[in-house]
Every structure is written in C-alpha cells, then in structure tokens.
Structure 1
Amino acid sequence: MDMLARSWLCIPALKEGLKEKIARSAADITLLDLEDSIPGHKKQLARARLLTLEKTMWSRCELAIRVNALSKPEGIRDLVFLMDNNIVPKYLVIPKVESSGELRILGELMSVTGACTKIFGVVETLKGLRRIDAIINGSVDICGLILGGADLSSEIAFRLSRSALMQVKCEMALAALSAGVKVIDTPCFTLMSESQLRDEIESARELGYSGKIAIHPSQVNLINELFSPTQIELEKAKAIIASLSSSELPTAVTSIDGEMIGPPFEILAKKLLATQQLIVSKDRKKAL
C-alpha cells in the first residue's frame, strides 16, 4: 500500500488555530478528531470548525477525520455533515468497529460520492477484538486497523498489563498483516517519558506495526524516526537485492556476512526501500 503512516497526530477539531497546527505538524497524517476529545454538546460546533479549513487542504494535506462510532447517532450525523459539505479527507477513521457491516455500508456510501478515502477501523472493544478476522475479511474497503488501548482497558475494567497488551497487539498484527492491511499502534499516554514511548514503538515495530498514534506534537519526531528504516537496514537491503539478482548466482539463495538469505529476505528488503522512497518524497514535498 503506497502510503506513509508512521505517525498520526491526533488534534481535536475544536482546537483554535487548526490550520496553523496542521501546517506545523511533522506527522505523516494529521488526525482531526470529532469523537472522544469533543464533549457531546459541542459536536456540531466541532463539525462546523472543519468548514474553516480551505477546500484545497483536503486534497493537498494528509488529513484524516475520526468520526463518532457509526452505531451512534453522532456518527451518522458526522457522515451526513461531511457529505453535505463535500469534505473528503484522505483518511476516515471509524472508532469502536465491531462488525464488517459498518465498514461495508460506509464503503458503499463512499463509492456513491466518488470519494477515494482510505478507511481505518479502530479496534477498542472486546467484541471488536474477538471479531477482527470477520471485520477485515468482510470488508473490501478497509485499509488498516488501529488499536485503541485506552477504551479496551476501560471495558475490561482494569489497566492492561504490558504482557496482556502485547498479546492483544500480536493478535491484531497477525490478523491485519495476514490480510494485507496496515496496523497502527495505540497512543503512549505518558507524555513526559521518552523511554516509555521508545519502548512502545520498538515493540510495535517488531510485531509489524506501520505506525503509532501521537497525542502530542512532541511525540511525533521519535515515532517517525523509529518507524523509519535505519541506514544500516537500507544498506543491507540494497546488498540483499544486488546479491539475489546476480546472474552468476547458481541457486535462489546466497549469504551475506555469514547470514543465509533467500527470496523472503528480498521481499522485506524491497519493502524497506519502498518505505524509504515514501519518506524521501514526503520530505521533498514539505520542502517546496
């Protein structure tokens, strides 16, 4: 999937200076929130705040909107508002997904409007967690899953331990990656601990996560850095591709620095180089 999704900076749609915050954001995707960060009596005001953004921003900026749950009236109001005002974000984030039907109906609505919006579902309930495979396989429109650790913890009625959360992360990653969709990690809610953020990023990346939600701009740079290929990884990837593409290679396997490599290593190498190319393209675009 040709998209860069390392960092998602979540900003309440009611924030003052929304346009300036989007412009200053170093995140790959700026996520404008209509859900948890907006009190019930201010939902309509938050929607109206989206109208203050220039129309061109929706096409030239990597913007996502998190609507309210589609099982609730506010979620339906969000969709109607977006369609009535021709607001077409590049990404639409659907919270508390528990069935493929929600996403299938949403996909049909999007196709009617002609929108090319990518859909991400947030898994943050026990019911949604148990139905991950059905959610993914029953919806041809989903591009990725996002883990909602806070809501999941509150439903279980205690703070998830590290080991329990890792089990959930692993289950989500296996389901998403086996279906070829991206998986994004839950936020780190401890704002003043870089070590905790680093630990969460590294463990998520090891499981195959593509990125992480940021709830503060100070988290974005580290998320971008650790979800990017290192120079050592890039050099090894190039060496792997060069070695396996050699016409003098007698078999489909060879060795580099004492490590046996074959076709699966080449697939990973190409993915790393493709990610790096997306990063370079983003940096060039931002410099213009």
Structure 2
Amino acid sequence: MPGRWTPPVKVAPETYKMGAAVVVHMTRRSVLFSPGDQPSLMRKAPTTGADVVVFDLEDAVAPARKGDARRAVSDLLTAADFDPDCEVCVRVNPVGSGAGDDVDAVLSGGGFDSVVVPKVTDADDVATVDSLLAEHDATSPVLALVESAAGVLNAHEIAAAGPTDALVFGAEDLSADIGATRTDEGTEVLYARERVVLAASAAGVDAIDTVHTAIEDPSAVAADARFAADLGFDGKLAIHPAQVDPINDAYTPTEADTAWATRVLDAAADSDAGVFRVDGEMIDAPLIAQAERIMRRARAADN
C-alpha cells in the first residue's frame, strides 16, 4: 500500500490499484470503526490489533457534532504517528450529504491511507469522491460501502470503478432499505452477501463483510466471521475493539491449514501433471488456488 497522503503530492490512481495487488497491500481482516467526535477512542483504535481503523464522520456522529468530528479527525491525522502496519481510513458522509466538507477537512490534516464512502449506489458515487480528492491534488483507494438495494444490484460496476479497492457490505442499512427483518441466521441478506463477494472477486478487489452487532458475545462474532470467510470475504467490519481478535482469528489460517497448503504447493511445484495426489486427496487447479489463498492469508497475518 502506498504511503499516507501528504500534501501536495498527487499519486496516480493506477498506483493505488497496483498497491491493491495480493502480494503488497495490507491485509484487511478486521476493519474497526471509531467515532470521529471521540478523540480518545480514535487514538486507541490503532492499538487494538485491527488491520484497518476507520475514523468515522458518518453514522457514528450526531448531525450537530459533524463539525467537531471533522476538526477532531483532522487534528488527529496531523498530530498522530500511526503504526505503519495499521491502515488508517476515514469514512466520509454520503455523496451529496457532506462528503465534500469531509474531504476538505481531512485533507487539511495529515496522512491517511484510504476512504470509506457510504451508501454507494453506483460507480458515479465513487467517481465523485475521486473528483473531490483531485481538487486537493490527492487520490486515495476507495472502500465502497454498498448498503442499499441499488448498491447491491450495481455491485459489479462499483467494484470495477478505478478508485475502488474494496467492496464493503452493509447488511443493517440494506435490511432497512428493502424492509427485511434481520435474523440470527441472516438468510434475508445471504444473496446480497454472496453478490458482493462475486462482484469483488470479478473485479480483483477486497470484499469486506458487514458488522455483527453483538459486542459482548465474542463466540457469535467469531462464528459469523468464519461463515463470512467461508463465503469468500477477505475481512469483516468491527464496531468494538472486543470484536477485533475473534475476527482476526477467523481470517488467520490454522497451522493445519498452512501445513496442508504447503504440501499442496510443494507437490504442485514438483509435478508436471494437471492432477496429482496429496495425503490421499486428488489435487487439481481449484485446490491449488485454495492453497495459494491460505498461504496469502497466513503471510498477511504475520506482517
């Protein structure tokens, strides 16, 4: 991932897309939101073990406190010395509802790595934020939050937009948008979850799963994160530091997983055949790809 934005340097968008390649970008197992109007919580967020911290100017901040939050985030970005292994992100307000003011504020501060754009309905929303950044001679990877019927149905074009570096799924807002009732099983949003993964995978960007609202039930968070990982998500949103470790664990391969993947990849390197045997199991291209994915996650977790 490229270094945090520092005025007045302009970095070409394709540089960020290159930075999103599997080998070089930071992992995004856990993406922790921190309210933008609470400086003490924001200062602590990068110490929680989260791969990404998001200083939130949107839902976590009451309308009357937006100005205070913008100043607090700008001040923190200017003064803080963040761990380089932690991706620092800002969630702006939706396009047409404060995103421009947010961009003006955060770019008056110091460095950040990426921007979360909420309530993205189509690729134009991503392009608009990219244009707002360009007005400051800046560019940034965009984590596009799809949380409406329109956003989910347009997920492919949103994921394929040049600045998009990740698709983020928001189940709570989607449920409100379509009138669904949230359940523990989550069947009401399963199709949308899967569609986001497919769109992200087709575009070669990360897929980040929705929040789990239980903040005092780490086992439930862990189970939901494991299910999301099984669906193909690269990481999961967190709304409390207690959720970070269960999420990270769910996206970190076990020793048995990495041992299996190592045997498969070693055997693949030694074999000229399209299909070969490892531990009594027939291995072909899809299982080799699975082994490579496990090793990428293992390497990312070690960084």
Aligned to 1:66: 91
2:159·2:165 contact (CA, 8 Å) conserved in 1?
no
CA distance in 2, matches of 1:116, 1:233: 38
Aligned to 1:46: 69
Aligned to 2:121: 98
Whether 2:208 is the aligned partner of 1:184: answer: yes
Aligned to 2:11: none
CA distance in 2, matches of 1:175, 1:200: 21
Aligned-pair identity in percent equals: 26
75, 79, 104: which is aligned to 2:99? 75
2:95·2:128 contact (CA, 8 Å) conserved in 1?
no
116, 122, 131: which is aligned to 2:154? 131
The answer for unaligned runs of 5 or more in structure 1 is 282-288
Q: Deviations over 1:53-78 (max 9, x none)?
A: 24463683421111100131x12111
CA distance in 1, matches of 2:301, 2:87: 13
| Matched residue type, 1:91 | S
Q: Deviations over 1:178-236 (max 9, x none)?
A: 21111111111122223321221121111100111111111110100011111111111
TM-score, scaled to structure 1:
0.88
Q: Specify whether residues 270 and 45 from structure 1 end up closer, same or farther in structure 2 by C-alpha distance, changes over 3 A only.
A: same
Q: Deviations over 1:126-181 (max 9, x none)?
A: 111121122223x1110111111111112223423421222211111111112111
Aligned to 2:237: 213
Counterparts of residues 144-223 of structure 1 (less than 5 Å): 144-161=166-183, 162-223=186-247
2:103·2:132 contact (CA, 8 Å) conserved in 1?
no
Q: Specify whether residues 192 and 59 from structure 1 end up closer, same or farther in structure 2 by C-alpha distance, changes over 3 A only.
A: closer
CA distance in 1, matches of 2:53, 2:267: 39
CA distance in 2, matches of 1:20, 1:104: 30
The answer for unaligned runs of 5 or more in structure 2 is 1-20
CA distance in 2, matches of 1:87, 1:210: 28
Aligned to 1:241: 265
Aligned to 1:279: 301
Answer with 225-234 or 156-165: which moved more.
Answer: 156-165
Aligned to 2:58: 35
Q: Specify whether residues 268 and 33 from structure 1 end up closer, same or farther in structure 2 by C-alpha distance, changes over 3 A only.
A: same
RMSD between aligned residues: 2.0
Aligned to 1:12: 35
Answer with 143-152 or 9-18: which moved more.
Answer: 9-18
Displacement of 1:263 in angstroms is: 3.0
Displacement of 1:113 in angstroms is: 4.4
Determine helix, strand or coil for the equivalent of 1:223: helix
Aligned to 2:15: none
Q: Deviations over 1:104-138 (max 9, x none)?
A: 2323444564545221010111111121122223x
CA distance in 1, matches of 2:121, 2:170: 13
| Matched residue type, 2:217 | S
CA distance in 2, matches of 1:59, 1:192: 27
1:88·1:115 contact (CA, 8 Å) conserved in 2?
no
**How many residues are paired up?**
276
Displacement of 1:18 in angstroms is: 4.0
